[in-house]
Amino acid sequence: MKIVVIYHSQTGFTKRYAQWIAEAAGADCFAWSEAKKKNLGAYEAIIFGGWACAGSIRKLGWFKRNIDKWADKKLIAFCVGGSPMDLPKIEPALKQNFKESELKKVSVFYCPGGFNYEKMSVSSKLMMKMFVKMMKAKKGKTERDQEMIKMISSSYDISDRKYIEPILECLKK
């Protein structure tokens, strides 16, 4: 099967996952900026990865606009975010990015990445600082809130190759 992995990455986590998937699947791998100029008709499977920002997946609109054009292909989307895999809010947040009809055509996955403040855009850094400040000011913080504050107050990396396994399994089906 001829496979392509396309990614949009701000700080490198999504790119890392895309490269891991491409390597494991024997796929071509392109940054979104390059891939959107290519004819992807020869590929039998198209995998798109974007990073999470305030509940949405960056550059997902491009992928979604092409779903009907790629109806004869296996379509997979993955999102990389800073939250651990075990957060119950991840699945609903991930699925809110797709209409029900799109979810019938696309398999969707989440991969935990992390934060790299050194590579973030100024606006992303500012947004995160405001979020941390808001979390610290919250009354009645839970233990989970305290953990999150500690985690997102500085750069961290929770990415792991094991999180691509469900994507690779989906490709085999």
Mean pLDDT of 41-53: 95
Confidence class of residue 56 from pLDDT cuts 50, 70 and 90? Answer: confident
Q: Can you give the pLDDT at residue 87?
A: 80
Would the pLDDT of 104 be above 90?
A: yes
Question: CA-to-CA distance for 152 and 129, rounded, in angstroms?
Answer: 9
Q: Can you give the pLDDT at residue 91?
A: 87
Confidence class of residue 92 from pLDDT cuts 50, 70 and 90? Answer: confident
Work out the angle between the directed axes of helices 143-152 and 122-137 (0-180°, nearest 10): 150
Q: Can you give the pLDDT at residue 96?
A: 92
For 28, the token pair is: 């071509």
Residue whose token pair is 């809010």: 89
Mean pLDDT of 7-22: 97
Confidence class of residue 170 from pLDDT cuts 50, 70 and 90? Answer: very high
CB atoms within 10 A of CB 169: 10
**CA nearest to 66, candidates 99, 100, 91, 102:** 102
Mean residue pLDDT of the chain comes to 93
Mean pLDDT of 85-109: 90
Confidence class of residue 40 from pLDDT cuts 50, 70 and 90? Answer: very high
Q: Can you give the pLDDT at residue 152?
A: 87
pLDDT tens digits for 72-84? 999 999 999 988 8
Q: Using a pLDDT cut of 70, give the percent of the chain over it.
A: 100
Q: Can you give the pLDDT at residue 109?
A: 96
